[in-house]
Chain A
Amino acid sequence: MMRSSSIKAGPDHVDFKEVLAPTPFQDRVDSYSLTQDWASWNGYKTAKTYDTLASEYFAIRSTCGVMDLTPMEKYRVGGPDALHFLNRLVTRDISGLQPNRVTYVVWCNDEGKVLDDGTIFSLGGGEYRLCSQHHQLDWLLISSLGFDVTIEEETHSIAALAVQGPTSYSVLSAAGIQELNGLKPFGMINARVNGIECMVSRTGFTGDLGYEIWIDPSNASAIWDAIFALKEQGLFDIRPTGLGALEMVRIEAGFILPGDDFNTAETAIRADHDRSPYELGLGWLVNLQKCYFTGKRALFAEFARPIRRKLVRLSIEGNKPPKDAFLYDRKGGGRIGTIKSCVWSPILKTNVSMADIEYDKGAPPKQIWAEIYYQKELEWRATWAQCRLSIKPFWVHQRSSATPPQKY
């Protein structure tokens, strides 16, 4: 019974022949999909690509990409202890989170190893929405012992649409949302589109200017239509984008993906295969001065020790895809890590990646070399490529933080 819960998840979903659940946008998504290239995202049928990867990628970076993100796990947290509960859950101090603001957080198990990351939306009136990459209801319920809170999973009862890219501000303004000019990154407002109530937050997973729209599932098609009507009018180039393009832009933007870039603590079986926030380069999210939170004792101890490994951003020379490559401290030297996820960045014209590497006495290796295996006309070859650590995200643009954003 438990295993089928994600399959039954979609609203009014009764077709037993269908393995993946449809999202509220399924009609529209289906009609735009030329490739019929589907993936499962938390049990929902989700497009990997609609048309071509390149066109979707450049929609996000050059015009406007629209993505159905309903499958993202969403939880509503309320009750008198909601804030205390969340502050004991996450490593960051969120006691100052104002209504209509959003913050990025991670949370750990008792050993200070990361279970997942996500965002907390302060909805006002002591209510919060927690969005996460993976299913977290068990952990939230376990963590709620001793707190007067209500926790409700709302993954299936809230539809969400991401509108991302340089023209996203202009698109949403043209769709009738007028209050966007004052909306800063990580802020949110309640608005109306064609009379439909919606919540709009200036958040996203692309590193670009972008918004996320949160609505009742019954209004999903209407919102989609309202946005794509602008394309029909020839005002903007708006394209639906799939998981493939998202993977490209999120690596460029330096966002980690739990479960892909590192084993979440819940899924790690072997010792040392789980990761602390420090080891993920998320030390800035850990506040050891705030009230007690799960994992604090362990993180306090870890903070005092030199770091042993870290998930870092690496750009790799050359044009050979460094997928799954091992990393060495010199050409043919000792192995120090692996590439976790990588992509050829069309906008930067280089290979960029997330890599898990060992640190020596708290310091990164002086040199990092990737041994890359690649095929040329079905023949396997190997080559060496030097890698460079990137402290900042590979791709940042001032438009992602400009308020008000530039109008097109």
Chain B
Amino acid sequence: MTKRPSVIVIGSGHNGMVCSNYLAMAGYQVDVMEAKESLGGAAGVFEFAKDFRAPGLVNAAYGLNRKIYKDLKLSPQSEKAPKKIDCVALDVKGEHLILTSDGVSGHKISETDIGAYKKFKKEFTSYAKALDPLMTDRPPRLKNMDRKDKKTLARLGWNLRFGLGTDSMREFLRVGGINIYDVLNEYFDSRHLKAALAVDAVMGQHMGPRTPNTVLTYIHRVWAQTHATSELSTGKDILQALYNSADSAGVRFRPNSRVRRVLVEQGRATGVLLESGEEVSASIVVSNADVKTTFLELVGAQNLDAMFCHRIDNIRCEGNVTKIFFAVRALPQFRNLDQKNLRHRLLIAPNQRYVEHAFNHSKYGECSENPVLEITVPSLADPTLAPSGFHVVSVSATYTPRAPKQGWDNLRTVFLGNVLSTIEQYAPGFSENVEASKLLTPADIGVNYNNVGGHWHHGELSLDQSFMMRPVFGASQYDTPIEGLFLCGAGTHPGGGITGVPGHNAANRILEFGGRV
């Protein structure tokens, strides 16, 4: 029996797991090194207060990419969710809007807006579909193209020209690089509806609705949603399914194994050095860590070209979202909101100007006075998170800079106060039921999840950091200047979200290099 080529994957987040699964299926011996005690990276469950557990940083996953679900023959982990409501746009007076993937309903929503919403969703879904060949494969090089690069570009061109058709292609080219604020104003009247859509375009980014590029981030989100499987939709289920599948394929997980360095000899990765001093050799090393950590810490500048390091160093990856978990004695009572809708994503963003003003603060190193909030109650779907009768409320609050001007020490309490008073306006009495709370600023997320900058996507999803420029020119096809070292994290194309696609694309690239065994 020949020895199977060995692979070390650094980081057990979902992308690392997806990549491990594919490689194990192809016959590689995969070891996953996880720095923390628990597996799963940002999607991993942890205890945030006594007896209360948080479902990781993931508020609401659209679900793993459908192709990955099928390829890996994953199994559903819990009962199928009812028809998916995308989100509930909360209104301070109780005139909420309910958005689904193809319709909108609620108080005072006009027929015009309902029609426009259908048209808008259809249009953006068609963009997302047209871009799919670009998303689920390595982004094509524009210089020294190989056959696959040409094929991807040709498919993309065909999709844009003939898939979308003349009108949609023109529209796509018109809006592709501009801001969501203007586009939403063209489509809709309802301020509330516009704000809810704008939040989806900017959440997690250092961008406001008026920032150019926010149409692209919105398309990215629609793409993830369009191609998600409905079978696996929570972070916990996705991880469990991936873990089970990896485990049965023979992937070995090693928690508490922080990698200190990637060992490089003669320009080739030969293994890793663990924090414990143990050296583990491997023929391939795959890093699911963020790109700055991978190159500047694990590999080290001394093994790389100077300008390459400079480009890595200049990646914009400053997080803007603070994660807050509340342990509560009772379910929050949002004015005029049916309790069954608490299962969905609740947004607090009354209008686009509110979102833009919230962003203004972060531009100048401050936290938003009136933050934009995305609220979920994960304990409704997973009762094991809280003791019986209690609940966990999870909030993603934006905008908060990673390194605010005045530092985080005193600001934590101030910002928590801002968040609570904002929720209080919509759900009076919420604060009284709070037993405990846990605030994870972008700085905390950076430290806790070994993610430089604490950005959701391991780097802004801006045009200059997307596609063949993600993470940087010179490492955008998952292989790196270090032979045998690959990237598979959210910092690579097509970016974050719980799609698993970066892990999938990286695995394909590794197999292209190494061949199947």
CB-contact partner of B306 in A291, A294, A297, under 8 A: A294
> Cβ of B409 < 8 Å from any Cβ of A?
no
Residues B307 and A292 in contact, CB atoms below 8 Å apart: no
Residues B305 and A142 in contact, CB atoms below 8 Å apart: no
Q: In the complex, which residue of chain B has the Cβ closest to the Cβ of A84?
A: B302
> Cβ of B92 < 8 Å from any Cβ of A?
no
Please provide the chain A residues from 291 to 320 with a CB less than 8 Å away from any CB of chain B in the complex.
291-292, 294-297, 300
Q: How far is the CA of A292 from the CA of B300 in the complex (A)?
A: 11
**Which of A143-151, A254-262, A343-351 interfaces with chain B?**
A143-151
Q: How far is the CA of A291 from the CA of B303 in the complex (A)?
A: 8
Q: How far is the CA of A232 from the CA of B300 in the complex (A)?
A: 59
Please provide the chain A residues from 274 to 295 with a CB less than 8 Å away from any CB of chain B in the complex.
291-292, 294-295
Q: How far is the CA of A200 from the CA of B444 in the complex (A)?
A: 55
Residues B307 and A88 in contact, CB atoms below 8 Å apart: no
Please provide the chain A residues from 86 to 105 with a CB less than 8 Å away from any CB of chain B in the complex.
88-89
> Cβ of A179 < 8 Å from any Cβ of B?
no
> Cβ of B151 < 8 Å from any Cβ of A?
no
> Cβ of A201 < 8 Å from any Cβ of B?
no
B282-313 CB contact bits vs A (8 Å, 1 = yes)? 00000000000000100011111111111001
> Given A145-B296, A146-B296, A292-B267, does the pair A110, B302 have CB atoms closer than 8 Å?
no
Q: In the complex, which residue of chain B has the Cβ closest to the Cβ of A87?
A: B302
Residues B267 and A110 in contact, CB atoms below 8 Å apart: no
Chain B residues positioned under 8 Å from A167 (CB to CB): none
> Cβ of B481 < 8 Å from any Cβ of A?
yes
Residues B310 and A142 in contact, CB atoms below 8 Å apart: yes
Residues A292 and B306 in contact, CB atoms below 8 Å apart: no
Q: How far is the CA of A34 from the CA of B313 in the complex (A)?
A: 53
Q: How far is the CA of A390 from the CA of B230 in the complex (A)?
A: 74
> Cβ of A109 < 8 Å from any Cβ of B?
yes
Q: How far is the CA of A87 from the CA of B305 in the complex (A)?
A: 12
Residues A146 and B267 in contact, CB atoms below 8 Å apart: no
Residues B305 and A146 in contact, CB atoms below 8 Å apart: no
Residues A110 and B313 in contact, CB atoms below 8 Å apart: no
Residues A145 and B306 in contact, CB atoms below 8 Å apart: yes
Residues B307 and A110 in contact, CB atoms below 8 Å apart: yes
Q: How far is the CA of A292 from the CA of B295 in the complex (A)?
A: 14
Q: How far is the CA of A142 from the CA of B314 in the complex (A)?
A: 11
Q: How far is the CA of A294 from the CA of B313 in the complex (A)?
A: 16
> Given A292-B267, A297-B481, does the pair A142, B306 have CB atoms closer than 8 Å?
yes
CB-contact partner of B302 in A292, A295, A297, A300, under 8 A: A292
Q: How far is the CA of A145 from the CA of B303 in the complex (A)?
A: 12
Q: How far is the CA of A148 from the CA of B305 in the complex (A)?
A: 17
In the complex, what's the smallest C-beta–C-beta distance from A221 to chain B, in angstroms? 40
Q: How far is the CA of A84 from the CA of B301 in the complex (A)?
A: 11
> Cβ of A139 < 8 Å from any Cβ of B?
yes
Residues B300 and A146 in contact, CB atoms below 8 Å apart: yes
Chain B residues positioned under 8 Å from A142 (CB to CB): 306-307, 309-310
Q: In the complex, which residue of chain B has the Cβ closest to the Cβ of A295?
A: B305
In the complex, what's the smallest C-beta–C-beta distance from A292 to chain B, in angstroms? 5
Please provide the chain B residues from 202 to 232 with a CB less than 8 Å away from any CB of chain A in the complex.
none
CB-contact partner of A146 in B301, B307, B474, B481, under 8 A: B301
Residues A110 and B301 in contact, CB atoms below 8 Å apart: no
Q: In the complex, which residue of chain A has the Cβ closest to the Cβ of B295?
A: A146
Chain A residues positioned under 8 Å from B267 (CB to CB): 292, 296-297, 300
Chain A residues positioned under 8 Å from B474 (CB to CB): 110
Q: In the complex, which residue of chain B has the Cβ closest to the Cβ of A141?
A: B310
Q: In the complex, which residue of chain B has the Cβ closest to the Cβ of A147?
A: B301
Residues A109 and B296 in contact, CB atoms below 8 Å apart: no
Please provide the chain B residues from 450 to 499 with a CB less than 8 Å away from any CB of chain A in the complex.
474, 481
For B302, B305, B474, B481, the residue with the greatest tally of chain A CB atoms inside 10 Å of its CB is B305
Cβ-closest 5 pairs across A and B:
A146-B301, A110-B305, A143-B306, A294-B306, A110-B307
Sample of 14 further A-B pairs with CB below 8 A, known A109-B307, A146-B301, A296-B305: A88-B301, A110-B306, A110-B307, A110-B308, A142-B306, A142-B307, A143-B306, A145-B301, A145-B310, A146-B302, A292-B267, A294-B307, A297-B305, A297-B481
A interface vs B, CB < 8 Å?
84, 88-89, 109-110, 139, 142-143, 145-147, 291-292, 294-297, 300
A and B contact pairs by CB, cutoff 8 A, 24 listed: A88-B301, A89-B306, A109-B306, A110-B306, A110-B307, A110-B308, A110-B474, A139-B306, A142-B307, A143-B306, A145-B296, A145-B301, A146-B300, A146-B301, A146-B302, A291-B302, A292-B267, A292-B302, A294-B305, A294-B307, A295-B305, A297-B267, A297-B305, A300-B267
